[in-house]
Amino acid sequence: MRVEAPGGFLVLPWPGGGGGSDPALDLEPVEEDQGGLLLRSGALVGLILICVTVLRRWIAGGVCRSPARLDGKTVLITGANTGIGKETSRDMARRGARVVMACRDLTRAEQAAEEIRQSTGNGNVVIRHLDLSSVYSVRQFSKDFIDTEDRLDVLINNAGVMMCPRWLTEDGFETQLAVNHLGHFLLTNLLLPMLKSSVPSRVVTVSSIAHRGGRIDFDDLFSSRKTYSSMESYRQSKLANILFSRELGRRLTGSGVSSFCLHPGVIRTELGRHVEGWFPMLGTLLRLPSLLLMKTPSQGCQTTMYCAVTPGLEGQSGRYFSDCEEKEAAPEGRDNVVARKLWEESAQLVGLKDTC
């Protein structure tokens, strides 16, 4: 309602005052708008939750559904005190296996082992010291294992380092190739007699999709002459895992020992600690997205478990797996000539004269 005042002034009614308007009618559209906003907000939140749930299930990947029991069996797992190694140890313990956790840090290993004993009720979980960067340590570990254990049914080559600076081991090897490949190569060969005496047995090697684009530089394996790239070195070591597992499967045909390698997925573990050390801000920024976009260690160990316990995989020895099913490795991971050459070069580097 407008009133023309003397002198040409326009007089407007005071809100909530007289003027013939009903306050109840004025409030009704506001209440309807608020109710609609709440409804739309609730629907949006519900849709986001559904999308996140679907995304998490997709990221989780395959699940090992084998109910196989491992009572009376012995399983050796490297790098078992954290990440997927620890969760693999837990799953093996639940299945009744004797679990040997081979770790460099015995304090953390004992803490992890005690947690696994408590959570599974399996007291047959033991720790042993192993430093895969040292040829001496691998040889000493293998000797002690053979002297004290009766059998070895599953060897899981799980330990690894990722994108560390260019460190050289006591043997003069570049650390990533030493830990990820050469240490496991030597360990597997030294324990093969026990694996053969425990057939059917398996060797499971944890690799990575990062093997794609990798290259074995036989002229400069340790980046002594070229500029060091932590990523290229990591790719080389993961490709070496694939080629080693493939050649091992070929050499062990008909022996009763099977060899498998796998990509576990992108997992929230300590493996990327060196990357975060170089780029702290990157680690901080990616922490929240990683909760949504990376597997948990429990999810990450599923393909390892699949390769270790699923019946009937013997015919797929030497193959590559991901998300609990066989996948095709990159072309560079299927090169039998390079695989044989890498085997021979690795044996020479670690001083191994007799191989399978």
**Per-residue model confidence as pLDDT tens digits over 117-172:** 999 999 999 999 999 999 999 999 999 999 999 999 999 999 999 999 999 999 99
- Catalytic: 306? no
Give residue 146's pLDDT.
98
- Residue (of 297, 278, 294, 298) closest to 286 by Cα position: 294
Give residue 294's pLDDT.
78
The span from the CA of 96 to the CA of 124, in Å, is 8
Give residue 32's pLDDT.
61
Give residue 50's pLDDT.
65
The span from the CA of 137 to the CA of 139, in Å, is 5
pTM above 0.95, yes or no: no
Average pLDDT, the chain: 87
pLDDT digits (tens, 9 = 90+) for 2-60: 555 555 555 555 554 444 555 554 555 656 677 777 777 777 777 666 665 555 454 55
Give residue 71's pLDDT.
98
Beta bridge partners of 275: none
pLDDT digits (tens, 9 = 90+) for 203-213: 999 999 999 99
Give residue 78's pLDDT.
98
Who has greater pLDDT, 259 or 30? Answer: 259
**Residue ranges per domain, the chain?**
65-350
pLDDT digits (tens, 9 = 90+) for 301-311: 999 999 999 99
Give residue 267's pLDDT.
79
Instruction: Kindly report the CATH class assigned to 65-350.
Output: alpha beta
pLDDT digits (tens, 9 = 90+) for 277-324: 555 665 555 555 555 567 899 999 999 999 999 999 999 999 999 999
The catalytic position among 228, 234, 306, 320 is: 234
Query: Can you list the alpha helix ranges (DSSP code H) found in 258-317?
Result: 273-278, 280-293, 297-300, 302-309
Give residue 94's pLDDT.
98
What the block records as the tokens of 183 is 């240490």
Provide φ and ψ at 151, rounded to 5°: -155, 170
Average of pLDDT values for 215-241? 97
Give residue 355's pLDDT.
83
Q: Is the pLDDT of residue 88 over 90?
A: yes
Provide φ and ψ at 157, rounded to 5°: -85, 90
Provide φ and ψ at 20, rounded to 5°: 85, 5
Taking every pair of Cα atoms in the chain, the longest distance, rounded to a whole number of angstroms, is 115
